[in-house]
Amino acid sequence: MLLAELPFRGHHIKRTVEGYLRDVISYSLLNLKMAEAMQEKIKNYRTAPFDARFPNTNQTRNCFQNYLDFHRCNKALSEKGQDVAPCDWYQRVYKSLCPMSWVSKWDEQIESGSFPGKI
């Protein structure tokens, strides 16, 4: 059995390579399961869930924040060349909360460069 010396919080621990690889694979599978669970939640999404940052009946700020978050997420992931699928969550939330007239107005403002929010 091979032993590997691995740094861990300033200490070196010895473990078998097989044990280390088993842990790495377990961690990778856990991440994959979490990603699949998130995709399933997004697919089954119906309406915006409760957000503790916006406890009041008036959901205007919640609408605007999710609109901003969608565009910020889209911009950040696009610049890195990554998949923008995680941003779909914000889009679904703002589309369920925001009146479409606001969204179309904001989209026009983004195109013309006069949008008041920081994206």
Tens of pLDDT, residue by residue over 10-28, are 555 555 666 666 776 776 6
Helix (H, G, I), strand (E, B) or coil at 59: coil
Rounded-to-integer distance, Cα 56 and Cα 13, Å: 51
Q: Hey, what are 31's tokens?
A: 């991440």
Cβ neighbours around 17 below 10 Å, total:
12
Q: Does pLDDT of 98 surpass 80?
A: yes
| Confidence grade of residue 110 (pLDDT, cut at 50, 70, 90) | very high
| Confidence grade of residue 54 (pLDDT, cut at 50, 70, 90) | confident
Using alpha carbons, list the distances in angstroms from residue 83 to 55, 72, 88.
Answer: 32, 14, 11
Q: What pTM, to 2 d.p., does this model score?
A: 0.61
Rounded-to-integer distance, Cα 117 and Cα 119, Å: 6
